[in-house]
């Protein structure tokens, strides 16, 4: 029996972000996502984002897989208004369809039939503010487009998408940088800014509309959400400074204030004495120099760790989902090892993965 997907226990909290790193691969890992396919995927991704209320913080579309760092806000208290529902529907449906729903709602409201109005809402809002519905709709819609375009049938994705719960603050911005560095690790570009189908590339170069505002908003949120900053494009300058430093360190550039060799030599001294990061201070406690070597590697914890964040964050998730573990398991947080060892003692995983397994 397949276990239900692990969702953040605080997913309905208005104060604590529910952030997920989502990954899916093409069946047989075939390299079938070219420029046109990736552009279309991004189009569907933004449409689904505009409809659902979920927000993409960071993303990267590769030739045979993709990564999304997705925030799923709770449903607004009191539900979705008619205006917001129609606005969301306009992102994914035709003008005629939206007009039909608007007419139905108007007639229900005019007649005082709130039960009917609630039923109309329920037809559509179950797909909003939902991780599973966001991913399901995005993958299905792209698959239909891909199959029509390539005269094929059947599934396009090899298995259920993976998802990892990510803490806001250092874990979120580290995950965002890890995602944006995918094409660098694959040898496709030397600088993530040169890769069009990623959040950083879009933020600097613009998307298909040439402005990149959505991407900048997402990265601002990824870098600064723990400080109470929302999707505020006007704060891009502040977020970009933080983000460029992380990327620069990972690339071994002087812009990151240290080259890769220096980062490796100073890592042990910088990490020594750090036990854990709390949600309040976890934007400063991780030695940024230690990120240089780590982010250039494939880190299994970031795709298979289930929950990534500070020790207290991971233990909170463990306590709230105690039924998922045997009685022998006493606590949740596990130190990162292997390629993720640079963050040991600062970022923790709820899964203790075997080192050397690819």
Domains of the chain: 19-74+155-296+307-349 (3.30.70.1290), 82-125 (no CATH)
The predicted structure's pLDDT at residue 291: 61
- 6 in Cβ contact with 318 (< 8 Å): no
The better pLDDT of the pair 240, 248 is held by 240
For residue 290, is pLDDT > 80?
no
**Mean per-residue pLDDT, 35-43:** 96
Q: Alpha-carbon distance 223 to 237, whole Å?
A: 11
pLDDT digits (tens, 9 = 90+) for 224-235: 988 888 898 899
DSSP class of residue 243? H
The rounded distance, in Å, linking the Cα atoms of 298 and 164 is 15
Residue 279: its pLDDT value, please?
42
Does residue 143 have a pLDDT over 80? yes
- pTM over 0.85? The answer is yes
pLDDT higher than 60, residue 110: yes
61 pLDDT tier (thresholds 50, 70, 90): very high
- For 122-127, what is the mean pLDDT? 94
Residue 128 has pLDDT above 70, yes or no: yes
Section 195-217 average pLDDT: 85
Task: Identify the pLDDT of residue 267.
Answer: 38
- What whole-number percentage of the chain has pLDDT above 70? 85
pLDDT at 167 over 80: yes
Strands (E), 122-232: 162-166
C-alpha span between 44 and 307 (Å, rounded): 27
- Is 171 exposed, middle or buried (CB count within 10 Å of its CB: 0-12, 13-18, 19+)? buried
pLDDT for the residue numbered 355:
63
Which residues neighbour 142 within 8 Å (Cβ) at sequence distance 6 or greater? Answer: 40, 41, 44, 156
* Rounded Cα–Cα distance for residues 192 and 202 (Å): 10
| pLDDT of 255 | 44
């Amino acid at each position: 029996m397949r276990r239900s997907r692990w969702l953040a226990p605080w997913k309905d909290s208005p104060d604590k972000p529910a952030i997920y790193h989502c990954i899916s691969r093409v069946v047989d890992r075939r390299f079938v996502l070219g420029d046109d396919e990736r552009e279309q995927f991004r189009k569907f991704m933004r449409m689904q984002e505009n409809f659902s209320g979920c927000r993409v913080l960071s993303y990267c579309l590769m030739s045979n897989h993709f990564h999304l760092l997705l925030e799923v806000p709770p449903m607004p208290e009191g539900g979705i208004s008619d205006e917001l529902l129609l606005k969301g529907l306009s992102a994914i449906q035709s003008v005629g369809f939206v007009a039909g729903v608007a007419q139905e709602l108007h007639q229900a409201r005019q007649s005082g039939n709130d039960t009917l109005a609630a039923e109309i809402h329920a037809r559509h809002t179950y797909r909003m503010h939902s991780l599973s519905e966001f991913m399901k709709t995005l993958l299905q819609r792209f698959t239909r487009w891909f199959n029509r375009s390539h005269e094929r049938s059947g599934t396009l994705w090899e298995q259920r998408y993976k998802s990892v719960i990510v803490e806001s603050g250092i874990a979120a911005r580290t995950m965002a940088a890890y995602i944006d560095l995918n094409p660098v690790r694959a040898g496709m570009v030397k600088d993530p800014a040169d890769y069009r189908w990623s959040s950083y590339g879009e933020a600097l170069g613009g998307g298909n509309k040439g402005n990149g505002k959505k991407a900048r908003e997402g990265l601002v949120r990824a870098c600064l959400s723990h400080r109470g900053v929302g999707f505020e494009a006007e704060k891009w300058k502040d977020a970009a400074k933080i983000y460029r430093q992380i990327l620069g360190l990972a690339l071994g550039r002087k812009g990151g204030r240290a080259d890769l060799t220096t980062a490796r030599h100073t890592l042990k001294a910088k990490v020594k004495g750090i036990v854990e990061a709390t949600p309040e201070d976890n934007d400063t406690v991780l030695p940024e120099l230690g990120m240089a070597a780590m982010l250039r590697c494939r880190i299994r914890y970031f795709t298979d760790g289930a929950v990534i964040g500070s020790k207290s964050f991971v233990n909170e998730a463990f306590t709230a989902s105690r039924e998922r573990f045997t009685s022998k398991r006493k606590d949740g947080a596990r130190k990162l090892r292997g390629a993720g060892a640079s963050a040991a003692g600062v970022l923790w995983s709820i899964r203790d993965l075997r080192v050397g397994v690819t």
